[in-house]
């Protein structure tokens, strides 16, 4: 039988990193590996979540001789408060990202930098929200939709509008359990207030607020972010692209866009297509301009423009270490402050663009929606002018790159399923062909693999091992964030990767014409996955807790990930984690996050640092769900 020999192994990826590291050593500069060593062993109190500095009587730490802080808060209260604060911070990050985009939509105009690219999606959302559309200018509709969206952050009464998109069983659970999300800012403020000195000390109550606040993210802020991005820049469609540092070009001006908010990177990508700028690059001795992405900004521009992806979170310093980057433009989230000093070892210009992420040593160009396109053009010119300063004695571009097919939002998945069965039942489409394949056992189930890299485990290894094993076992994978980037680097987004899958999944890939891992976007797009799971449950006629669909974040690191994991659990989907949340110092908190939430939402965490044990637990979890459904 035909095989797919072209997988890039973790060892190969590590060998390329080691080669880049040699340059760092030669230049006497540090990278995350060195800083990680300096931070090891990590503070045990922080690791266990039992250090509190929520007032200046502290910090208080729970030890064998001190079972309570000065105010009397015990380990459970302290770990619970710290955990809830992580959820609040993660919720704020995703939601503020959406708020910025809503302001961009509010300022969109037919002749401005930002326009409405997907009128149909806008009109659908307007209808959903009761915004009048008939005989109205599309921009009037857009501005009113943006206002309704912005009200989701601070409305004094009511709950998030998007929760109506969930299946009725879920809505009932959220109502009965009193975790329906209210205004986004309110849930974040409530979480911060509850964890202020002298307030909630009951771990279960803190965990419940965590579920509620996270729902204001997954079925609020994140979903808003995804919707508005699609309206402004178009719903992603299937595109062929490439990934890994081999996408950098030695003869071209290389510009990296990194972060999350696509508003800025869209301008950079669009401006780079101007002939005047590529001609300008040629006058400076370059063959052209090569825009590549990093982290979630990469996912956004790859899915909408086919822009190639340089890599994921722990590769951001590697990109600079190639010595071939004329400019790195960053927006928000997951940006190492270390990039500023590392850039100084090369000719690389490091540019920040948002007041949310200012970094000492960076060139700050505050991006403004009204002038965004002109600003992007100026930056590209600056990068082109920098090309001649590249020091070729410091350049090493690792050769490896992989072909990838990306761009599978729910709309695209439905379209491809429709293509094989003509099963289109309504405007939302149907997942029935996928359900039939699961019922027949051709597919055992589906897993959403998401999240970051984390030096606490061997970077990328857990993603890689888990994906490989699931594919072999006929489990379809949907991926976002840095996990999707690993899938790209490994070659799993190549349609030919079907030859490493089990026979069932391979048949599905052939029939539907998809790669075995579907790239669904950035981490904010995990909201798409919630709609996917809800759509499957709806068409199956069961609750989301029952379908053989689970979530996995093998190498998560950010507060956003904690918020995400909570809204996935709130949606009734088990989450398999490869990194322990920092609550180990409280047995009650450990019980609450692994078992206690099951009584509230029907789902919880399963935690195991060993990827092989974790994937075994995942396969067992899928089979248990199948058995309970009688399939």
Q: Residue 452 or 593: which CB sits closer to ligand MSK?
A: 452
> Which structure tokens are listed for 446?
């589906």
Residue 197 contact among ligand MSK, ligand SF4, none, beta carbon within 5 to 8 Å by kind:
ligand SF4
CB of residue 604 vs ligand SF4: minimum separation in angstroms?
27
Tell me how far, at minimum, the Cβ of 437 lies from ligand SF4, in Å.
Answer: 52
33 - beta bridge partners?
Answer: none
Q: In what order do the strands lie in the sheet with 549-553?
A: 517-521, 475-480, 445-449, 549-553, 575-577, 605-607
3-class SS letters over 365-385: CCCCHHHHHHHHHHHHHHHHH
User: Does 214 interact with ligand SF4 (rule: CB under 6 A)?
Assistant: no
User: Parallel, antiparallel, or unpaired for β 239-243 and 402-406?
Assistant: antiparallel
Among 189, 197, 363, 365, binds ligand SF4 (CB under 6 A): 197
Which residue among 83, 162, 174, 313 contacts ligand MSK (CB under 6 A)? 313
Comparing CB distances to ligand SF4, the nearer of 198 and 630 is 198
Look at residue 53 and give the partner it binds from ligand MSK, ligand SF4, none, a contact being a CB closer than 5 to 8 Å depending on partner kind: ligand SF4
Rounded to a whole number of angstroms, the CA Rg of the chain reads 24
Is residue 567 at the binding interface for ligand MSK, with CB under 6 A as the rule? no
Q: How far apart are CA 58 and CA 419, in angstroms?
A: 62
CA–CA dist 77, 79 (Å, integer): 6
Of the residues 131, 253, 452, 517, which one makes contact with ligand MSK according to CB under 6 A: 452
* 523 binding partner (options ligand MSK, ligand SF4, none; Cβ < 5 to 8 Å by kind): ligand MSK
Classify 143 as helix, strand or coil.
helix
Decide whether 74 or 469 has the Cβ nearer to ligand SF4: 74
Q: Does 52 bind ligand SF4 (CB under 6 A)?
A: yes
SS3 6: coil
Pick from 4, 27, 58, 199 the residue near ligand SF4 by CB under 6 A. Answer: 58
Outline where 387-495 has alpha helix (H): 410-421, 432-439, 461-472, 481-490
The nearest distance, CB 484 to ligand MSK, in angstroms, is 8
Q: In the complex, what is the shortest distance from the CB of residue 331 to ligand MSK, in angstroms, rounded to a whole number?
A: 11
Q: What are phi and psi of 229, to 5 degrees?
A: -60, -45
Task: Give the footprint of ligand MSK on residues 163-182 (CB under 6 A).
Answer: none
Query: Residue 603 has which token pair?
Result: 């789902």
* Residue 55, binding choice from ligand MSK, ligand SF4, none, Cβ under 5 to 8 Å by partner class: ligand SF4
The residue among 61 and 463 lying less far from ligand MSK, judged by its C-beta, is: 463
Buried b (16+ CB within 10 A) or exposed e, 523-536: bbbbbbbbbbbbbb
Binding of residue 335 to ligand MSK (CB under 6 A): no
Q: Which of residues 70-129 bind ligand SF4 (CB under 6 A)?
A: 70-71, 73, 78
Q: Give the C-alpha separation, 255 to 127, whole Å.
A: 40
Q: Which of 558, 582, 588, 601 binds ligand MSK (CB under 6 A)?
A: 558
Strand order in the sheet with 289-294: 363-364, 349-352, 327-330, 253-259, 289-294, 308-311, 239-243, 402-406
Q: Which of 516, 355, 611, 464 is nearest to 10 (CA)?
A: 464
What minimum distance in Å lies between the beta carbon of 529 and ligand MSK?
13
C-beta of 100 vs 539, nearer to ligand MSK: 100
Rounded CA-CA distance 376/255 in Å is 11
Name the binder of 573 from ligand SF4, ligand MSK, none, CB < 5-8 A by kind.
none
Residue 85 vs 498, nearer CB to ligand SF4:
85
Residues 514-553, one symbol each (x = binds ligand MSK by CB under 6 A, - = not), give --------xx------------------------------
The owner of tokens 């050769």 is 399
Distance of alpha carbon 547 from the chain centroid: 23
Residue 244 or 586 with smaller CB distance to ligand MSK: 244
Using CA atoms, how far apart are residues 629 and 557, in angstroms rounded to an integer? Answer: 34
Q: Which residues bind ligand SF4 (CB under 6 A)?
A: 52-55, 57-60, 69-71, 73, 78, 197
Q: Which residues bind ligand MSK (CB under 6 A)?
A: 260, 295-296, 312-313, 334, 451-452, 481-482, 522-523, 558, 560
């Amino acid at each position: 039988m035909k095989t797919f020999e072209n997988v890039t192994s973790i060892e190969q990826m590590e060998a390329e990193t080691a080669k880049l590291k040699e340059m760092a050593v030669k230049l006497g500069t540090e990278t995350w590996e060195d800083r990680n060593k300096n931070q090891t062993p990590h503070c045990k109190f922080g690791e266990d979540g039992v250090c509190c500095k929520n007032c200046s009587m502290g910090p208080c730490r729970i030890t064998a001789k001190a079972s309570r802080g000065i105010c009397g808060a015990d380990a459970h209260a302290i770990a619970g408060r710290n955990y809830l604060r992580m959820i609040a911070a993660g919720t704020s990050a995703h939601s503020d990202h959406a708020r910025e985009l809503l302001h961009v939509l509010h300022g969109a105009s037919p002749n401005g930098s930002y326009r409405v690219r997907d009128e149909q999606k806008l009109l659908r959302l307007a209808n959903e929200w009761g915004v009048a559309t008939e005989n109205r200018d599309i921009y009037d509709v857009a501005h009113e939709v943006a206002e309704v969206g912005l009200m989701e952050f601070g409305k004094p009464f009511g709950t998030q509008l998007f929760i109506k998109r969930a299946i009725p069983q879920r809505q009932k659970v959220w109502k009965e359990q009193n975790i329906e999300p209210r205004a986004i800012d309110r849930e974040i403020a409530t979480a911060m207030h509850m964890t202020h000195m002298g307030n909630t000390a009951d771990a279960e109550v803190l965990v419940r607020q965590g579920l509620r606040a996270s729902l204001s993210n997954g079925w609020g802020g994140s979903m808003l972010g995804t919707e508005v991005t699609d309206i402004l820049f178009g719903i992603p469609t299937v595109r062929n692209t490439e990934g890994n540092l081999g996408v950098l070009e030695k003869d071209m001006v290389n510009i990296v866009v990194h972060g999350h908010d696509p508003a800025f990177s869209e301008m950079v990508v669009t401006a780079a297509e101007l002939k005047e700028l590529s001609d300008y690059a040629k006058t400076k001795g370059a063959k052209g301009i090569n825009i590549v992405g990093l982290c979630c900004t990469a996912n956004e521009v790859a899915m909408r423009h086919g822009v190639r992806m340089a890599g994921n979170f722990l590769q951001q310093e590697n990109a600079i270490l190639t010595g071939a980057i004329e400019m790195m433009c960053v927006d928000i989230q997951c940006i190492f402050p270390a990039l500023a000093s590392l850039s100084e070892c090369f000719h690389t210009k490091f540019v920040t663009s948002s007041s949310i992420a200012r970094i000492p040593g960076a060139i700050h160009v505050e991006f403004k929606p009204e002038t965004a396109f002109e600003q992007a053009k100026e930056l590209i010119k600056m990068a082109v002018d920098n090309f001649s300063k590249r020091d070729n004695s410091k350049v090493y571009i690792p050769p490896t790159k992989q072909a990838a097919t990306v761009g599978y939002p729910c709309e695209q998945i439905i379209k491809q399923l429709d293509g094989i069965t003509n099963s289109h039942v309504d405007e939302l489409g149907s997942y029935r062909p996928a359900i039939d394949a699961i019922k027949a056992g051709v597919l055992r189930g589906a897993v959403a693999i998401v999240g970051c890299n984390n030096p606490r485990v061997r970077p990328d290894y857990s993603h890689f091992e888990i994906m490989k094993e699931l594919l072999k076992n006929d489990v379809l994978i949907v991926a976002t964030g840095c996990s999707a980037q690993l899938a790209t680097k490994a070659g799993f987004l190549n349609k030919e990767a079907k030859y490493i899958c089990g026979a069932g999944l391979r048949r599905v890939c052939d029939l539907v014409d998809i790669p075995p891992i579907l790239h669904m976007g950035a981490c904010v797009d995990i909201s798409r996955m919630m709609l996917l799971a809800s759509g499957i449950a709806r068409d199956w006629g069961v609750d989301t807790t029952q379908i053989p669909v689970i979530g996995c974040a093998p190498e998560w690191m950010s507060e956003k990930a904690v918020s995400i994991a909570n809204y996935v659990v709130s949606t009734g989907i088990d989450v398999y984690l490869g990194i322990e949340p920092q609550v180990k110092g409280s047995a009650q908190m450990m019980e609450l996050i692994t078992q206690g939430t099951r009584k509230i939402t029907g789902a919880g965490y399963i935690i195991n640092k060993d990827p092989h044990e974790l994937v075994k637990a995942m396969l067992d979890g899928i089979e248990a769900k199948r058995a309970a459904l009688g399939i």
